[in-house]
Amino acid sequence: MIIKDKFFKAALLAAAITTSGSLYAAGPHGTLNVDIDGPATGFDPAKVGDNYSMQVVGNVYDTLLTYDYLARPVKLVPNVIESMPQITNGGKTYTFKIKPGIYFADDPAFKGKKRELVAADYVYSLKRILDKTINSPTNYLLAGKFVGADKLVKAAGNGPLNYDTKIEGIKALDKYTLQLNLKEPNFNFSVIMAMPSFGAVAREVIEANAANTNAHPVGTGPYTLSDWKPGNLISLTANPNFRHKVFDFKPDPSDPVSVKVAKEMHGKTIPQIKNINIHIIEEEQPAWLAFLNKQLDLSGIPQPAYKEALVMNPDNPQDVKLAKKFVDQGISLQRTKLLEITFYFFNMEDPVVGGYTPKKIALRRAIAMAYPRAETIARIRRGQATPVNYIIPEGVAGHNPNVTSAVQYNPAKANALLDAAGYKIGADGFRTQPDGSPLSVEMGTGTAAIDREWNEFWQQTFDAVKIKLTFKTGKWNELAKMNREGKLQMWGLAWFADYPDGDNFMQMFYGPNTGDSNWSGFNLPAVNKEYEASLKLPDGPERQKLYDKINKQVAQYQPFIMGDTRISSSVTHDYVHGYKKHPIIGSWRYMSLDEKK
């Protein structure tokens, strides 16, 4: 999943913050105030794919499976199903038994009746992902996978699917039994089904709100959407129809945070918090000040505040503690290495920086060699990140710690490489293309203060190899649209694990995924073939060989300049209980507020 690295309206934030007047009410109580650093685009699970929207989607809708909140490494567990899916037919058939008695939140589309979750809801929801008129950003994960689905999609042409047409690949065996039949073995399908995109929607709600399904989410999850002011505030309220569920996760005895959370939350009904206000604060410093003023209950420490908030061991950047003045205020720190890679990519279809010829590879390689990654980690990240040397990050199945494929910083060699490839320096002191035409590269960039810091390093990078650089400034959604239209030459992003398997990262280099998870448009037949072969294999030595080969080929052609994996520093006030940052899922439903404090 794509995320980015924080326009703050103080009056709105102050007005939106509320508190509960009761102490320890029988049901969910209190209001949790949190922030995100970018605007959500909507809450229809089939139509959105950005991290900001998905944080809400994951709390409104229910997926078949989810994750144990406390288990590390992460562990997949049943959510609305009675037990883990039955996998048969050599990894091609998945059968799910849905628990009876799970109900959707009330909605006028149900005409005053309680609406139970059934297998047919997942049949409908998964078919929506395949519907071309939906244009789902997660279509690539399901397209071509199910028996009979291709024929259904073809029959629809450019129009909507006939949802009443039954297919072998996605079917309800009875009221509560869902069966998925795949064309090929896929040992990652359980984790894919845990993604928020594949939560169950009710057909009658979708059809009643067809004009804007993004603004009218109705699911069986622990929360409902009570307010949405796009770009400013999202408010959630506990779903009164949510099934009875108690916190029963077992702690890791070696992890003090895990033990503390289990003690605070054991036996409590989920959710404990009645209201959640999600404030969109794009700039980092205002978000930090809002947290210190207790306008936010949970937040992250922004990079500019590291010096004030964190005490770092100069001999070991990872030995970090919270400054005493914050500890004395009852603030707690949690540090987590994220399941992500950050990167800058080249548009491989662009006539200047794209292409697969030696000269184009030399241009991209030289730019990568001039990028001072270690310096950006030290100065911008304040040492709170580690360099990416393999496509798949540490903590994700398929990571190989013995491979170091990122290019080494060496501006002198970068210039020599460009000289040899025919990128000559012109009279103006800047390089031209091998045919003598002007050479200039445009990079996409955000509007926040932190983006300007990164731009200084990129200007330094391009100056070092004497290539003209310009910046295209815009909001994240604007730049994403431009990139899909092929209008950006370079842009920097982070890819955060949707599921803890290497497939989630390797898919970024699969040619047919261009426009979806493949942001660079990298399309090499050999890599495509190897990736397809990897889908048929479970995690193990055979698949690892394919992953290592793909990693090597990506390094050879240089569609990416690898960045870093960040170490997140999250802080909570002492009245916040149950918080433990999870690598995949959100924490809000598992938290509570001590209102006496």
Q: What CATH number has the domain bearing residue 510?
A: 3.10.105.10
84 belongs to a structural domain = yes
Q: Looking at the structure, tell me whether residues 211 and 350 fall in a common domain.
A: no
Q: Predicted confidence band at 1 (pLDDT cuts at 50, 70, 90)?
A: low
DSSP string of 73-112, one letter each residue:
S--EEESSBSSSPEEEGGGTEEEEEBPSS-BPPP-GGGTT
Q: Is residue 594 part of a domain?
A: no
> Residue 354 in contact with residue 486, Cβ under 8 Å?
no
- The answer to whether residues 338 and 567 touch, using CB atoms and an 8 Å cutoff, is yes
281-316 pLDDT, tens digit per residue, is 988 899 999 999 999 999 999 888 988 999 988 877
Whole-number mean pLDDT of the chain?
A: 93
**Considering 204, 220, 236, which residue would you say is the last residue of a domain?**
220
CATH of the domain at 139: 3.90.76.10
Q: Assess whether 207 and 344 both reside in one domain.
A: no
Could you tell me if residue 425 is inside a domain? yes
Number of helical (H) and strand (E) elements in the chain, helices listed first:
18, 24
Is the residue at 351 inside a domain?
yes
Number of domains in the chain: 2
Choosing from 220, 239, 269, the residue where a domain stops is 220
Last residue within a domain, chosen from 180, 196, 220: 220
Are 376 and 518 members of one domain? yes
Q: Residue 20 pLDDT more than 60?
A: no
Q: What's the Cα-to-Cα distance from 411 to each of 287, 355, 417, 442, rounded to whole Å?
A: 37, 23, 10, 20
Give yes or no: residues 344 and 216 share one domain: no
The predicted model scores a pTM of 0.86
pLDDT digits (tens, 9 = 90+) for 139-167: 999 999 999 999 999 999 999 999 999 99
Closest C-alpha to 183, from 198, 170, 165: 170
549/413 same-domain check: yes
Asked if the model's pLDDT at residue 21 lies above 60, the reply is no
Is residue 417, in this structure, part of any structural domain at all? yes
Q: Give pLDDT tens digits for 398-446.
A: 999 999 888 999 999 999 999 999 999 999 999 999 999 999 999 999 9
Is 189 domain-assigned? Answer: yes
Alpha-helical segments (H) within 148-188: 149-156
User: What confidence category does residue 24 fall into, taking pLDDT thresholds of 50, 70 and 90?
Assistant: very low
Q: What is the pLDDT of residues 310-343, one digit of tens each?
A: 998 887 767 899 999 999 999 999 999 999 999 9
Q: What is the mean pLDDT of residues 29-58?
A: 94
The boundaries of the domain holding residue 344 are 340-567
Q: Could you give the 3-state DSSP secondary structure of residue 31?
A: strand
Looking at the fold, whether 425 and 556 belong to one and the same domain comes out as yes
Residue 300 falls within a domain, yes or no? no
Kindly state whether residue 520 falls inside one of the protein's structural domains: yes
Residue 19 pLDDT greater than 80, yes or no? no
From 93, 132, 115, 122, select the one nearest 198 (Cα to Cα): 122
User: Do 204 and 70 sit in the same domain of this protein?
Assistant: yes
User: Which stretch of 11-15, 125-129, 377-381, 397-401 has the lowest confidence by average pLDDT?
Assistant: 11-15
